[in-house]
A and B are shown apart, each in its own frame.
Chain A
Amino acid sequence: MRIKDYLIKFNSLQILEGASSWEEAIQIAATPLEDSGVIERSYTEAMINITKEKGPYYILGDNIAMPHSKPSNGAIQTGVSLLLLKKAVAFDVNGFDKRYADIIFVLVAKEKGEDVQNVVAELLNIVENSEKVKKLRSSTKKKEILDLFDEN
């Protein structure tokens, strides 16, 4: 399944003005996945905890975050969510350099396998394409955003 399919299936694409904290941002991004039976609450907690422990290591350069945890921490099925924030949220975790993110992809793998590899490959393609990233940041309509994931 491609990213667009997951976003539609789990109703997990959200576009918001901002978030009041990085924890809130992760929770917001994870909520549609919790509601759709992709993850248990424990997975969201695991993502928040690892961030507190190791910093937001999953921020891939240009303010794009890919928080995720181990399948055993509450992954029920493979899935993805995307939270786009008009205003980037600060990931200022104690003891780590302050980072920002306005594009947050929550990644869930049920097990190590092709599905997830394809999703990550697709994600990297988007992230490395500055035109697409620009559109992710400027679009306000869900349909436009979903269409961005089409041509790959």
Chain B
Amino acid sequence: MVKVLAVCGNGMGTSMVIKMKVQKVFKMLDISAQVSYASLEQAEDLIEDFDLVLASAHVADDLNFTHTKIISLMNLIDENELYEKLVGALK
């Protein structure tokens, strides 16, 4: 089970959008995943428990964690971008 965290500045809104899109893509890939969402501040305490972190590009730069893969998203609803980046990260 892949543990994923979606992060944005506010902890709701954008990260929720990412979470919903990610769940869709994981379903397409037939991979079981647990997706949570949080704000940047909340994320700093949580990050170590996740396999993958997705953040909208505007906060991705503020995240500095070395052992978790961070995917930065330019377009929040483009499933193609998400699909490619997820597949790339899961290799």
Contacts and interface: CB of A to CB of B under 8 A. Distances in A.
Interface of A: 50, 54-55, 57-58, 60-61, 66, 68-71, 107, 109, 112, 116-117, 120-121, 124, 127-128
**Residue among A50, A57, A60, A128 with max Cβ neighbours from chain B (10 Å):** A57
Nearest to A124: B20
B54 to A, nearest CB: 14
Interface of B: 9-14, 16-17, 20-21, 39, 56-59, 75-78
Contacts of B59: 54
15 contacts: A54-B9, A57-B14, A57-B56, A60-B75, A60-B76, A61-B75, A61-B76, A66-B13, A68-B13, A68-B14, A71-B12, A112-B11, A116-B16, A120-B20, A121-B20
A94 to B, nearest CB: 14
B73 to A, nearest CB: 10
Contact of A117 (B9, B11, B16, B57): B16
A120 B17 contact: yes
